[in-house]
Homo-oligomer: A and B are copies of this chain.
């Protein structure tokens, strides 16, 4: 897979071609008195919820159902419908109860001026994908002209959210990781599909969303593709890889589902689209989108830029085709039109079949016709059917796009990993301890290094352990703050550090240390060298903690 880094600052024509300048907006309303801005769909949703929850209200069952139905399709409302609904349900500005202005579209891109002249408007990119599309020709060249290939980009995207909220879930600047996989639309198989064919997912397809019990079903990727629910192998491949990824980093399987976009939800360019949704305290959150964008993007950029962003398919066998051709009588045309004859012949040569047929018909019936403003006669042009041999064709590749929101994934992971346990001495002295149960591979700090107490006797060895861990590529943190060992373990648990090495009095005698694992809180004792090597194996998931306990024996709680 290729990788590139395009710029965040994007000249306006690129985002005009992609449709973002005209369409990338949310409906907004303002408090008519204070001018405070609200996202219209969020405001209306909150208002509908409060209507439903109002115990004093006299809503009929029918009205309740209408409101429920409206809630489900708030993001589909047109500007006009939004105004009607806001007015029908009597929505007001939530803080002041003032009237609201009519809804109007607010473009979510940050605008700026590129260069000193003030004549080059630009935007911060709202997605990284466009930087890959506009560089398609170079990528294709690097691949020797061969498809399929994919290009990834990890980088910042910017959206001027009307109301940022919910921690990392709705922010104005976020890390995006996107892959654009370019493929011939006529063959969307994937050579590595076999690797993920048997991966199981919680599939929330269109039919599950539209029929009781309105719940996802468990299926394998292979079955979903075979049944035509997931549109093709390549899209299925990336859904499978995504399922493997979220499992590997430690998401809880029962809180992960893949939801297919309903027909009316899909972007105008997409032919099939699935969201990776993860359940957290904010509900089901879209953390990735996997879409078959068809040939929309490369086609649009080609049209707007005049640069043909196509790939070439070379036929296994040359193909023969019969085409109509106009044969100019050069001498006659030259004598009649002098220097304009060339222009006329050029126009004839570039005519599409339909135009040629029309010209042929006109000349046959009237004996004369107009070619780019010149009146030509029957004797000046003859027609004949020619055989053409074609060795290949140029086409716009289709694009399969997995697109990840890195911050959203991290936030959901933190929620899935967080737990509390009772007993022991918490950071704040309470009996409840917060633990961030990150898998070792995902924990930013792999090992805490703790002297048993602030005794100077331990200093050298603590330093040595830290260095040995560092040399083994294991990020570690020494905590010699002098607080009780229990409190320091709790502090390490809280930031997700999976292992702790403690240097105690026995260590200074025989170079053995204790190694503690965060979730079991069990400890073993071994030499410093064994401890470092063991943690390296554990982090690389080449060993389990149970195996380590067997190997060295669990020691009594100190």
Residues of A within 8 A of B (CB): 7-9, 28, 35-37, 106, 110-117, 124, 144, 156, 158, 160-162, 172-173, 481
Beyond A9-B158, A144-B481, whether A116 also contacts B124 by CB under 8 A is: no
Residues of B within 8 Å of A160, CB to CB, are 113-116
Chain B residue nearest in CB terms to A175: B5
Q: Are A116 and B8 in contact (CB under 8 A)?
A: no
Q: Are B110 and A111 in contact (CB under 8 A)?
A: no
Residues of B within 8 Å of A124, CB to CB, are 112, 124
Residues of B within 8 Å of A8, CB to CB, are 8, 156, 158, 173
Q: Are B111 and A112 in contact (CB under 8 A)?
A: yes
Q: Which of A8, A37, A115, A116 has the most CB of B within 10 A?
A: A116
Residues of B within 8 Å of A110, CB to CB, are 9, 112-114
Select which of B9, B173, B481 is within 8 A of A9 by beta carbon.
B173
Nearest Cβ distance between residue A385 and chain B, in whole angstroms? 37
- Stoichiometry, as copies per complex, reads 2
CA distance A124 to B125 in the complex (A): 13
Select which of B106, B144, B158 is within 8 A of A116 by beta carbon.
B106
Nearest Cβ distance between residue A194 and chain B, in whole angstroms? 15
Residues of B within 8 Å of A28, CB to CB, are 116
Q: Are A114 and B172 in contact (CB under 8 A)?
A: yes
CA distance A271 to B112 in the complex (A): 35
Nearest Cβ distance between residue A301 and chain B, in whole angstroms? 21
Q: Are B156 and A116 in contact (CB under 8 A)?
A: no
Residues of B within 8 Å of A117, CB to CB, are 35-37
Chain B residue nearest in CB terms to A146: B481
Nearest Cβ distance between residue A415 and chain B, in whole angstroms? 20
Beyond A8-B8, A173-B7, whether A162 also contacts B116 by CB under 8 A is: yes
Q: Are B115 and A112 in contact (CB under 8 A)?
A: no
Nearest Cβ distance between residue A426 and chain B, in whole angstroms? 18
Q: Are A116 and B9 in contact (CB under 8 A)?
A: no
Residues of B within 8 Å of A37, CB to CB, are 115-117
Q: Are B9 and A162 in contact (CB under 8 A)?
A: no
Would you mind naming 27 contact pairs between A and B with Cβ atoms under 8 Å apart? A7-B173, A8-B8, A8-B156, A8-B158, A8-B173, A9-B172, A9-B173, A28-B116, A35-B117, A36-B117, A37-B115, A37-B117, A110-B112, A110-B113, A111-B112, A111-B113, A112-B112, A112-B124, A114-B160, A114-B172, A115-B160, A115-B161, A115-B172, A116-B160, A116-B162, A144-B481, A156-B156
Chain B residue nearest in CB terms to A482: B144
Nearest Cβ distance between residue A494 and chain B, in whole angstroms? 12
Q: Are B112 and A162 in contact (CB under 8 A)?
A: no
Nearest Cβ distance between residue A314 and chain B, in whole angstroms? 13
Q: Are B162 and A115 in contact (CB under 8 A)?
A: yes
Q: Which of A7, A35, A112 has the most CB of B within 10 A?
A: A112
**Apart from A8-B156, A115-B161: 10 A-B pairs, beta carbons within 8 A:** A8-B8, A35-B117, A37-B115, A106-B116, A110-B112, A110-B113, A114-B160, A115-B160, A115-B172, A144-B481
Nearest Cβ distance between residue A490 and chain B, in whole angstroms? 15
CA distance A481 to B145 in the complex (A): 10
CA distance A270 to B204 in the complex (A): 60
Q: Which of A111, A115, A117, A172 has the most CB of B within 10 A?
A: A115
Residues of B within 8 Å of A481, CB to CB, are 144
Chain B residue nearest in CB terms to A39: B116
Chain B residue nearest in CB terms to A36: B117
Residues of B within 8 Å of A112, CB to CB, are 110-112, 124
CA distance A158 to B122 in the complex (A): 13
